[in-house]
Amino acid sequence: MTARNPPPAIGKDERRARIARLCAEMETENIGAVLIGPTSSLRYFTGVAWHPSERFTGALIRQDGTVEYITPGFERDKVGQVIGVEGDIHTWEEEESPYRLIADRLGNKARMAVDDQIALFTWFGLKGVLDDARLTGAGKVINRLRRAKSNTELALMQYAKDITLEVQRRAWKSLTKGVRASEVEAFIDREHRALGGNGNTFCIVSFGEDTALPHGGEGDRALEEDDAVLIDTGTQIDGYNSDITRSYVFGEPSKEIRMVWDAEKRAQAAAFAAAQPGAPCESVDAAARASMRGEGFGPDYRLPGLPHRTGHGIGLDVHEAPNLVRGDATPLASGMCFSNEPMIVVPGRFGVRLEDHFYMDETGPRWFTEPSASLDEPFKGVAPLP
């Protein structure tokens, strides 16, 4: 695969198949309709990628597969241009209530499940026009559908991750003494765009002691000789996300950093090996922590050690359920996609996080991107993209 030949985008047939599966879930759960707000689930089912605001735009999907769009009157034409699945468009004016319109479209008896990612004020607005008995959450139903990715989704994610891995390699090659974290972030954004990505969806560039903070420091540190480096970034292709972290040293690594880096790599490998079909998600987290505990880190969330979960689900959201964390007993199944990033933090000094993603098939886990080769040659074996 090269950055010049992107895979096909999600098409209308696949979205219609998703709606059909949602309708089957509705029938099982005795739900008459599902209301999807301006969230990633709206894109998932209808193709509409809409920025959330105080004005509700979304879709009402009925158990019979009918799709109705709800939007302000002045947005009608724009919504009509971006919908990926046909449906009537119903509008409300500025002095009117979108929640009253939704209740009227729902009818007098149907029970409605609501997208769990909507704003809280939307939920309160719905409670003002519908009895509590007719409202329920749709989060579990939607997640059951979204967490198993199709081959088309896997191809889009693979493409995004290939781009980001190459951008990581280019960032590593570009580093010079004195460069500031913000300059590297801007470089990464340009390279993501140059390779066909949607720029940076996020970017953490940390040097020195800032690498001990999982989400980076608040300053704009300049790179010094022998600094630890941690770069965590991603982009999107047709809405699907990449998210890759690399850790290395600009200069000569200390013996301690080498020891921690090697322990991190072994913990990442232990997590991958534990990700077997049918195993609970939490068992992957447990395997990473057991590996670290055997090398003197932790236990649990104690530092030096792993301060956060081992991994998260990924797709149209960078972070989506289920997660590789204690307490998540969801069985691993084909099509699920996860990050694998059991970071080791040495407080106040440095941190090492190696993050790659894998997907599950019928036989076990499969890497989207191969893990970092070594501390000294973190991108050995990575074929550059044109």
Q: Is the residue at 321 inside a domain? A: yes
Q: Is the residue at 374 inside a domain? A: no
Residues 237 and 298 in one domain: yes
Q: Is the residue at 380 inside a domain? A: no
Residues 184 and 97 in one domain: no
Residues 249 and 280 in one domain: yes
Closest Cα partner for 31 from 127, 140, 104, 121?
A: 140
The size of the chain, in residues, is 386
Residues 113 and 48 in one domain: yes
Residues 183 and 266 in one domain: yes
Residues 282 and 161 in one domain: yes
Cite the beta strand spans of 47-86 per DSSP E.
Answer: 58-62, 67-72
Over residues 168-177, the pLDDT tens digits come to 999 999 999 9
In angstroms, rounded to a whole number, what is the distance separating the alpha carbons of residues 214 and 72?
A: 41
Q: Is the residue at 381 inside a domain? A: no
What is the per-residue pLDDT for 1? 40
Residues 111 and 58 in one domain: yes
Q: Is the residue at 372 inside a domain? A: no
10 Å CB burial of residue 258 (0-12, 13-18, 19+) is: middle
Q: Is the residue at 2 inside a domain? A: no
Q: Is the residue at 30 inside a domain? A: yes
285 contacts 267 by C-beta, under 8 angstroms: no
pLDDT band for 5, please (50, 70, 90 cuts): confident
pLDDT band for 4, please (50, 70, 90 cuts): low
Q: Tell me the average pLDDT across 294-306.
A: 98
| CATH code for the domain in which residue 196 is found | 3.90.230.10
| CATH code for the domain in which residue 140 is found | 3.40.350.10
Residues 287 and 311 in one domain: yes
Q: How many domains does the chain have?
A: 2
Q: Is the residue at 3 inside a domain? A: no
Q: Which secondary structure element, helix H or strand E, spans residue 143, and what is its range?
A: helix 139-146
Q: What percent of the chain has pLDDT over 70?
A: 99
Which domain, by its residues, includes 242? 151-367
| φ/ψ (deg, to 5) at 281 | -55, -40
Over residues 209-246, the pLDDT tens digits come to 999 999 999 999 999 999 999 999 999 999 999 999 99
Over residues 113-161, the pLDDT tens digits come to 999 999 999 999 999 999 999 999 999 999 999 999 999 999 999 999 9
- Among 146, 168, 187, where does a domain finish? 146
Model confidence, pTM: 0.96
